[in-house]
Amino acid sequence: MFLDPLLLNIIITLIKTIVMIAALLGAFAYLTLVERWVVARIQSRIGPNRVGPRGLLQPIADAIKMIFKEDFAPAQADKIVYTIAPGIAIGTALLAWAVIPLGPPLMIGDLRIDLQIADINIAVLYLLAIGSLGIYGIVLGGWGSNNKYSLLGALRSTAQLVSYEIPLGLALVGVLMISGTLSLRQMVEQQAGVWNVVWQPLGFIIYFICSVAETNRLPFDLPEAETELVAGYHTEYSSLKFAFFYMSEYVNILTVSAIASCVFLGGYQGPLGIAPGPHWLILKIALIIFVFMWMRGTLPRFRYDQLMNLGWKVLFPLSLANIFVTAVVLLVIGK
């Protein structure tokens, strides 16, 4: 007995969603371990090496410790807002992966399975919208904690994300002008020959810098600056609530790396016409994340005025100039 096509599609989508969430949470756990190894190597230290062979069970030990830690809340906190904020942060981080194409379609007999939860024709706009919603988890967490340091961290994060989302979005416009589509899958398929980074090197650089700021990573981790704000917006969080904030940061790093890979680096397309596959996307994401870790281990934190000057006085004009030059070139070649 064959299933109704609509019901079959719902079941396949549900399975893909569960697998995607499980993979992202597993990737988050071991990214923390890899980052500790990388930073330790850069700083001539020994990273985690005690729990399990070569420290491979350290993320599991960390998860168990986090689950059983005391879950306290400030007496004067807004309990509802304080509680839902971490859920908003991790929820929006996971939602972005609904439109990321992981590989070419998989054929099982006559059944075609797209390695993507939803192939929508406005995927880029969807990602920008979801990215904008993620700030609500940070803002509500800082405000609901009823702690001045948490509130200052939340306000910093808001100003930082608003400032850097503009050049980040504009950095993608040049690629959109060339590709003529907002669908990530179509964009990846168009890069079977030449990757977009060849035509948009400045756009890629601007996007990468802005993505580092968007994820609050060094050297742009001003919302969590421990020398000034204790721990910023998550100062008053512990146990699983803190874990959700921590998790959202690493999932967001995976997200911006996947977007950079799909938009600029060909996604699952191989170099020089080599057969495509999910392994190419995973490799590109891994290389970009390694640069994130490398920067954390080597660069100092910016001052807040330097952060804002870079966003508004350097990256914003450069992103506009990139769009102007792209438009002129497209006009000249008659595309």
pLDDT at residue 1, as a whole number: 46
What are the pLDDT tens digits along the chain (335 aa)? 466 777 888 888 899 999 999 999 889 889 999 999 999 999 888 888 888 888 899 989 988 888 888 877 787 888 888 888 888 988 998 999 999 999 888 877 777 888 888 888 899 999 999 988 888 888 888 888 888 888 888 888 888 888 898 999 999 999 999 998 899 999 999 988 889 999 999 999 999 999 998 888 888 887 776 666 666 777 888 888 888 888 888 999 999 999 999 999 988 988 877 888 899 999 999 999 999 999 988 888 888 888 889 989 999 999 999 999 999 998 888 76
How far is residue 249's CA from residue 47's CA, in Å, rounded to a whole number? 21
15: CB partners within 8 A, 6+ apart: none
Decide: helix, strand or coil at residue 146: coil
Contacts 24+ apart (CB under 8 A), 274-278: 276/103, 276/104, 276/192, 277/103, 277/104, 278/102, 278/103, 278/115
Compute the 3-state secondary structure of the chain and give helix, strand, coil in percent, each to the nearest 5: 70, 0, 25
Torsion sign, CA atoms 321, 222, 86, 23: positive
The C-alpha atoms of residue 259 and residue 4 are separated, in whole angstroms, by 34
Residue type at 74 in one-letter notation: P
Report helix, strand or coil for 75. Answer: coil
Model confidence pTM above 0.85: yes
Distances (CA, A) of 334 to 147, 214, 330, 331: 57, 35, 6, 5
What is the per-residue pLDDT for 285? Answer: 95
Contact 282, 23 (CB under 8 A): no
Residue 111 CA to residue 9 CA, distance in Å, equals: 10
| The pLDDT value given to residue 234 | 77
Cα–Cα distance for residue pair 100/111, rounded to 1 Å? 21
Length of the chain: 335
User: Is there a cis peptide before residue 219, judged by omega within 30 degrees of 0?
Assistant: yes
Question: Which is nearest to 127 in space by CA: 23, 262, 220?
Answer: 262
Number of helices and strands (H, E) in the chain? 13, 2
CA dist 183 and 284 (Å) reads 20
**How far apart, in whole angstroms, are the C-alpha atoms of residue 35 and residue 18?**
26
307 CA to centre of own chain: 20
The identity of residue 301, as a single letter, is: R
Report the distance separating Cα 101 and Cα 105, nearest Å: 9
Instruction: Tell me the H-state helices in 98-147.
Output: 123-133, 135-144
Nearest C-alpha neighbor of 240 from the set 83, 26, 97, 131:
83
- Listed by start position, the domains of the chain span 72-333
- pLDDT recorded at residue 3: 67
CA distances from 4 to 110, 182, 211 (A): 15, 31, 42
Residue 147 in tokens: 């702690």
Q: What is the pLDDT of residue 69?
A: 82
